Amino acid sequence: MPNIKSAKKRVLVIDKKTLRNRMIKSAIKTEIKKFNAAVAEGNKSAAQAQFTYCVKKLDQAAAKNVFHKNTVSRKKSQLATALAAMA
């Protein structure tokens, strides 16, 4: 545990940021699972709507540096490939 006041504050700030990042990652994983479920059911309209939402959330996470931009690009590509394979 740090002794210096500024170091103590950094620990608190890092805890808050870690919690925020964890919440965002969990929400994105949930949305991707919903997309995969729609693809598995063969529900194209639901999958398309979920795809749009997932891409939006992934881009927001990249903007906040929760995910690296290349990771987001890879995930979006995987989702697009799965959506295209439904046709």
pLDDT at 8 over 80: yes
The string of pLDDT tens digits covering residues 9-39 is 999 999 999 999 999 999 999 999 999 999 9
Count of domains observed in the chain: 1
Instruction: Provide the domain limits for residue 82.
Output: 5-86
Q: How far apart are CA 77 and CA 69, in angstroms?
A: 12
Contact 83, 39 (CB under 8 A): yes
Q: Is 42 helix (H, G, I), strand (E, B) or coil?
A: coil
Contact 31, 70 (CB under 8 A): no
Q: Amino acid letter at 78?
A: Q
pLDDT at 55 over 90: yes
pLDDT at 87 over 90: no
CATH number where 69 lies: 1.20.58.110
